[in-house]
Amino acid sequence: MKKRYLEVGKIVGTHGVKGMTRVQVWADSPDFLKQFKYLYTDSEGNNKLNVLKVQPHGNISLVAFKGVESIEHAESFRNTVLYIDRKDVKLPEGRYFITDLIGITVTDAESGAVLGEISDVSQTGANDVWHIKKDGKEYLIPAIDEVIVEVDIDNQTAVIKPLKGIFDDED
């Protein structure tokens, strides 16, 4: 079952004296937070923060929340993990939350053989890399159009065309 509230970043400090926070964003870009009216401080969505302003600043975002108007109040949120409500996000075609990819069964497009299960995803900058585990071995697969044929999050499956030499049983 997909989690409704997803980790999106962490408050790592303050900015200025009027309550703005510095957020390390766990997404493709610090701009990602601009689309949200609310962020949450718990994984159940019980503690909602009303977002007033998001300003990308290098590799972080400066975020102002309603009611947080002093540096002392903002400082009390330091190290707080922030969550988004999945219902507030519309991902573009071919984009996925990493948490949804973990555990997916990966099969070979040509043979239909099960290649393993996604255990992790590394973000390298150029492209993501899927860590596929099977029988105690780990294989690294670039998440690029030439390799990824299909991903079905609802059915927990992915079909790939592995690059030659990645799996042991290839010539």
Coil, strand or helix at 150 = strand
Query: Do 71 and 102 share a domain, yes or no?
Result: no
Number of helices followed by number of strands (H, E) in the chain = 2, 12
Angstrom distance (rounded) from CA 39 to CA 53: 12
Tokens 């099960």, residue located: 114
pLDDT tens across the length of the chain (171 residues): 688 999 999 999 999 999 999 999 988 788 889 999 999 999 999 999 999 999 999 889 999 999 999 999 999 999 999 999 999 988 888 888 888 999 999 999 999 999 999 999 988 878 889 999 999 999 999 999 999 999 999 899 999 998 888 875 544
CATH number, domain containing residue 130? 2.30.30.240
Question: Are the C-beta atoms of residues 6 and 86 closer than 8 Å to each other?
Answer: yes
Chain centroid to Cα 12, Å, comes to 18
What pLDDT digit, counting tens, does each position of 71-103 carry? Answer: 999 999 999 999 999 999 888 888 888 889 999
Angstrom distance (rounded) from CA 88 to CA 76: 26
Cβ-based neighbour number of residue 153 at 10 Å: 13
User: How many domains does the chain fold into?
Assistant: 2
- Look up the domain containing 19 and give its range: 5-87
Angstrom distance (rounded) from CA 19 to CA 65: 8
